[in-house]
């Protein structure tokens, strides 16, 4: 069975043209899945998972947040902050007539998912929790805030492989897929980051709203939650992972040994955990 997404656009509340992929049957009875990517990532990261779920009858919505992928870049960098992202997501769900979703969120996407619990049927967190590892956060912000052009795709793939040695990727094709989801070809013929480097300015300049992340965690205490952690993650520590379980005893946890930030969700234990989690809805 061949499954392909419907590639669509919508307008944000400030009239920015935003992109999303809509997989599966819009008329299905199952609660839709909303996949929210990490800080610099976009909808392509979820292609394998979305295809897998869509073949099983689940509708899956995968947006590119503003400033990423095929969504427009914001004229005002101050809009690259959580409240605006949440408004964009609510606007998308309203446009699609979707009232409840199961969020699968990687890193920042998981935190965004936790920030609107009234719309949540369930939440699957990918390598993120209420305490963010300071060293890992600094590493990411330092890297993504400056464009790092690459001359060609093989060189860019080797660059990422050196930069991210703990990802659970093993084949040349897997690394090339990640590379094509990270860079885009520019007018100069070189490969550039597929995001607006200004997305980090609100965080660096203190212009972004700051959420009490443990309060967010308590807000989802009555919602079914799956949490996946990379065993080598510098974003979600083992101590934070343990505290999450202590505060929410029904939390379903999966650790992927040796995997760094962030798991692809194509790892067999992660995929099996997501499938089992979704059987509840």
Q: Residue 181: inside a domain, yes or no?
A: no
Strands (E), the chain: 6-11, 17-23, 33-36, 60-63, 101-106, 120-126, 183-185, 191-193, 225-230, 252-256
For the chain, what percent of residues have pLDDT higher than 70?
Answer: 98
Per-residue pLDDT band for 2 (boundaries 50, 70, 90) equals low
Q: Residue 151: inside a domain, yes or no?
A: no
Q: Residue 177: inside a domain, yes or no?
A: no
Q: Residue 256: inside a domain, yes or no?
A: yes
Q: Residue 27: inside a domain, yes or no?
A: yes
Q: pLDDT per residue over 147-188, tens digit each?
A: 999 999 999 999 999 999 999 999 999 999 999 999 999 999
Q: Residue 154: inside a domain, yes or no?
A: no
Averaged pLDDT, 118-133: 95
At 117 the pLDDT is 79
Q: Is 124 exposed, middle or buried (0-12, 13-18, 19+ CB in 10 A)?
A: buried
Which comes out higher in pLDDT, residue 245 or 203?
Answer: 245
Domain of 87, CATH number, reads 3.40.50.1820
Per-residue pLDDT band for 134 (boundaries 50, 70, 90) equals confident
Averaged pLDDT, 27-48: 96
Using CA atoms, how far apart are residues 271 and 73, in angstroms rounded to an integer?
A: 32
Work out how many domains the chain is built from and give that number.
1
Does residue 3 register a pLDDT over 90? no
Q: Residue 195: inside a domain, yes or no?
A: no
Does residue 211 register a pLDDT over 80? no
Does residue 206 register a pLDDT over 90? no
Domain region containing 227: 6-144+210-278
Q: Residue 89: inside a domain, yes or no?
A: yes
Task: Please state the pTM of the whole predicted model.
Answer: 0.96
At 210 the pLDDT is 66
């Amino acid at each position: 069975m061949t499954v392909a997404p419907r590639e669509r656009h919508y307008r944000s509340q400030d009239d920015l043209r935003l992109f999303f992929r809509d997989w599966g049957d819009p008329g299905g009875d199952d609660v839709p899945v909303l996949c929210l990517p990490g800080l610099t990532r976009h909808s392509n990261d979820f292609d394998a998972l979305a295809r897998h779920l869509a073949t099983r009858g689940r509708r899956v919505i995968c947006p590119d947040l503003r400033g990423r992928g095929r969504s427009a870049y914001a004229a005002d960098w101050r809009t690259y902050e959580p409240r605006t992202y949440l408004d964009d997501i609510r606007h998308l769900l309203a446009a699609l007539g979707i009232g409840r979703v199961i969020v699968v969120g990687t890193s920042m996407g998981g935190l965004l998912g936790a920030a609107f619990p009234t719309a949540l049927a369930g939440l699957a967190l990918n390598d993120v929790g209420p305490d963010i590892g300071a060293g890992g956060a600094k590493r990411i912000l330092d890297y993504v805030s400056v464009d790092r052009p690459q001359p060609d795709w093989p060189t860019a793939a080797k660059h990422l492989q050196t930069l991210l040695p703990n990802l659970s990727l093993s084949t040349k094709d897997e690394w090339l897929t990640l590379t094509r989801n990270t860079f885009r070809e520019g007018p100069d013929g070189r490969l550039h980051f597929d995001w607006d480097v200004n997305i980090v300015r609100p965080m660096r300049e203190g212009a972004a709203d700051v959420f009490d992340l443990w309060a967010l965690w308590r807000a989802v205490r009555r919602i079914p939650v799956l949490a996946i952690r990379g065993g080598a993650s510098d974003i979600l520590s083992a101590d934070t992972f343990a505290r999450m379980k202590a505060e929410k005893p029904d939390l379903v946890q999966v650790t992927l040994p040796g995997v760094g930030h962030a798991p692809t969700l194509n790892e067999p234990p992660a995929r099996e955990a997501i499938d089992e989690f979704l059987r509840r809805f």
